[in-house]
Structure 1
Amino acid sequence: MEKSKLGGRIWFNLIIFGFMGQIAWNVENMYFNTFLYNSVYHGASQAAVDGSVDVMTAISVMVAASAATAVITTFLIGTLSDKLGRRKVFISLGYVLWGLVTAAFGFVSRENTSALFGLTDEAAILTLTVSCVIVLDCVMTFMGSSSNDACFNAWVTDVTTVKNRATAESVLAILPIAAMVAVIALAGVITDFGYQVFFYLLGGVVSVCGLIGIVSLKDSGDKVKKDTSYFRELIYGFKPSVIRENNRLYLALASVCIFSTAVQVFFPYIFIYISNGLGLDLDNLLSNLTPGSIAGAAAGFAAVVAVIVSMGKIIDKFGKDRFIIASIVVFIIGLTLAGFAKKLSVFAVMAIPALLGYGLLMIMLNAAVRDFTPKDKTGLFQGVRMIFFVLIPMVVGPFIGNLVCRVNEVKYVNEYGVTTSAPGSVMFIAAAVVSLFIFIPILSLKKKGFNPEAETR
């Protein structure tokens, strides 16, 4: 009989590696983009900007290159970890290296590029610096995907069951929000000490997590070394017979793909939009925080945690099919409302349904993918999972966001008098339209049934 409760060691590792992984991914998703926008391009002359790649295009290229790296890495390492029957070594060592590469971003600047390569042309310096950021991002993604996407995700599937996965996923769904709050709270480091110290600090924390894992992590007891062909297993998830046999898994993956694509339409640009489009000065906000406002924010976050964890338990008890359609509708409504908000206060209120729908869909869709993943092929399917979770969404989503923002072009003139592109609220409307397509695979999956132990209809 499968256990319905997870032990303390599993919860400790699930939370610490889940949280620190999200810290690293949030640094990449939130601050590599703003690092390009506010540091690499910041202070560059109009001639340099005009002679180099546009900042919005640079961001979309970086996101796409990172996505491709993540998928290839997860295929290779996920399959290898399955073949060796080991996750711990990849997770622990991977987190250590992941943190070190994140810290290395502290060395990237136009000045260092000029000195290192002996360049004097401003446009060439800017272009090469942007290229360095993109390449280093891909290296960082290789480390993160090896440890987190390929092996930590497989480990979570190894140690959870159908009876407790939604509960585990509800906690994992909170961690990106907690990590985002933590990273934003540390944004004052950028103001006081610059991006260099910021990257050193957060990179170091991730590396320490990897060292902790050497002691705390344990591989699942039912994993054994396989003698099967490594290269044959790389293509296992693409075989038509495998797709037919696991049709509900692929319907769940298709649902995640569309959902994640909708999120990626706006997410790479959201902090630039909030700052330049809605006028939020994050540095000023952080410097004016009072004990009362911090306590209120903490209480609000605690309430969100309680609601999401409770929803996870309710979903485990009553089933995903009772909540999935309503969650999609709430998500779409929230995105649409956010797209029409022109003031920061209105945007904050209108975004609540989108955040609620996002959290619920994360819980249910992630749990469904784990439920339908064959237990003895967990690592093999991590690469397939990444195509639907990362590659397609992070290539298509930012492209759509960039396209609609260019059609409804918004220009921003910085304090140096340089005109640059800026994202607009239309990206939320575009994300809502993309989200409508989630109904296609979800209705088919709902008809076949969300219970992995039941026969398909």
Structure 2
Amino acid sequence: GGVIGLFLMKDKEGIKPNKSNSFFNDFTYSLKPSTIKQNKMLYVCLSGYMIASIGYQVYINYLFNIVEGTLKIKNYIIPVGIIMVLAAVGSVLIGIAMDKKGKQNFYYPTIIAGVIGCIIIWSAKFFVDKNATAEIIVLIIGGTLTIGVNLVMAGLFTASYRDYIPDGKEGLFQGCRIVMYVLVPMIIGPVVAQIIINAANRGVASENIVYPMELFLGCAVVLLFCFIPSRIVRVEGAKHHDELMKELQNEVKD
């Protein structure tokens, strides 16, 4: 993709390099306290998906171990493949609906769907060695909701975050985005998971340790904290939208 882009992608005419800033200044721009203070809403949006990503990291590293070892589903490729396809297609359809109906209508339902999905997939444990068909159905339904919600949350908060990027500073917040979307979740998520794993396997010999379904309940608890940035983004986002529309209308009049 990168090689093809070298030949197909062209810079906009008139773009000139900014030689007044050094690489270090650009690199640290989004991490400066003054930048954070001036762009509070941008960081609120980033924190929303950061929390969702922490929840995702609680279980995703152990997903195949859970399906094959804990749920004892040996032929797991097909159900896991179905989950991934349904989650991807569903997130695209929800994305189209968000464009038509507005992002503000999807924050709370998405979080609730994620929590419900985690509870559903957790309940698959009650069908182990009892009803294999029901177990797989529960896994697919819960897994589709859980994985799909993570994709939708990425779209929701990333789209909102872009609304608050100052003009001319578009590329200077990517480092902070990666820190909050990837680095922080990949540290905190596995720590939370390890606490749950240790609690579930207390007194169990190392060779008998299993990855508990309670990892999904841990994810559900983490997702509840998404309500905090979601509420802020919904309220402030509506105000910001109205301000942008007024500016646009004034430009049209001029």
Q: Normalising to structure 1: TM-score of the pair?
A: 0.46
Return closer, same or farther for 1:350/1:238 CA change in 2, 3 Å cut-off: closer
**Is 1:386 the equivalent of 2:178?**
yes
- The code of the aligned residue for 2:72 comes to G
The CA deviation at 1:349 is 2.6
State the distance in 2 between where 1:230 and 1:421 align: 48
- The code of the aligned residue for 2:92 comes to V
Equivalent residue number for residue 446 of structure 1: 234
Equivalent residue number for residue 150 of structure 1: none
The CA deviation at 1:428 is 0.5
Equivalent residue number for residue 235 of structure 1: 28
Equivalent residue number for residue 433 of structure 1: 221
- The code of the aligned residue for 2:218 comes to A
Unaligned runs of 5+ in 1: 1-16, 18-91, 93-210
The answer on whether the counterparts of 1:251 and 1:445 sit within 8 Å (CA) in structure 2 is yes
- The code of the aligned residue for 2:194 comes to N
The answer on whether the counterparts of 2:87 and 2:145 sit within 8 Å (CA) in structure 1 is no
State the distance in 1 between where 2:121 and 2:51 align: 19
The answer on whether the counterparts of 1:408 and 1:424 sit within 8 Å (CA) in structure 2 is yes
Equivalent residue number for residue 70 of structure 1: none
The CA deviation at 1:420 is 6.0
- SS at 2:212's partner residue? coil
Return closer, same or farther for 1:421/1:453 CA change in 2, 3 Å cut-off: same
**Is 1:271 the equivalent of 2:64?**
yes
Equivalent residue number for residue 144 of structure 1: none
Equivalent residue number for residue 97 of structure 1: none
State the distance in 2 between where 1:451 and 1:256 align: 21
The CA deviation at 1:451 is 7.0
Match of 2:118 among 335, 348, 354: 335
State the distance in 1 between where 2:14 and 2:203 align: 57
The answer on whether the counterparts of 1:335 and 1:354 sit within 8 Å (CA) in structure 2 is yes
Equivalent residue number for residue 348 of structure 1: 140
Return closer, same or farther for 1:307/1:339 CA change in 2, 3 Å cut-off: closer
Unaligned runs of 5+ in 2: 129-134, 245-254
The CA deviation at 1:309 is 3.1
The answer on whether the counterparts of 1:334 and 1:353 sit within 8 Å (CA) in structure 2 is yes
The CA deviation at 1:229 is 2.3
- The code of the aligned residue for 1:443 comes to R
State the distance in 1 between where 2:51 and 2:102 align: 22
Return closer, same or farther for 1:276/1:334 CA change in 2, 3 Å cut-off: same
- SS at 2:220's partner residue? helix
State the distance in 2 between where 1:347 and 1:363 align: 24
The answer on whether the counterparts of 2:48 and 2:230 sit within 8 Å (CA) in structure 1 is yes
Aligned positions, number: 233
- SS at 1:341's partner residue? helix
Return closer, same or farther for 1:441/1:375 CA change in 2, 3 Å cut-off: same
The answer on whether the counterparts of 1:411 and 1:422 sit within 8 Å (CA) in structure 2 is no
- SS at 1:235's partner residue? helix
Kindly report which structure 2 residues correspond to 1:143-182, keeping only aligned pairs within 5 A, or say none. Answer: none
The answer on whether the counterparts of 2:117 and 2:141 sit within 8 Å (CA) in structure 1 is no
**Is 1:251 the equivalent of 2:51?**
no
The CA deviation at 1:347 is 2.1
Return closer, same or farther for 1:240/1:305 CA change in 2, 3 Å cut-off: closer
**Is 1:317 the equivalent of 2:100?**
yes
Return closer, same or farther for 1:409/1:242 CA change in 2, 3 Å cut-off: same
Return closer, same or farther for 1:260/1:306 CA change in 2, 3 Å cut-off: closer
- SS at 1:280's partner residue? coil
What percent of counterpart residues are identical?
28
State the distance in 1 between where 2:10 and 2:208 align: 50
- The code of the aligned residue for 1:328 comes to I
- The code of the aligned residue for 2:160 comes to A
The CA deviation at 1:407 is 0.8
Match of 2:165 among 373, 389, 392: 373
What RMSD, in angstroms, separates the aligned Cα atoms of the two structures?
3.1
Match of 1:224 among 13, 16, 20: 16
- Which structure carries more relative contact order (alpha carbon 8 Å, separation 6+)? 2
- The code of the aligned residue for 1:214 comes to L
State the distance in 2 between where 1:221 and 1:249 align: 29
The answer on whether the counterparts of 1:411 and 1:419 sit within 8 Å (CA) in structure 2 is no
State the distance in 2 between where 1:421 and 1:326 align: 36
Return closer, same or farther for 1:237/1:407 CA change in 2, 3 Å cut-off: same
**Is 1:400 the equivalent of 2:183?**
no
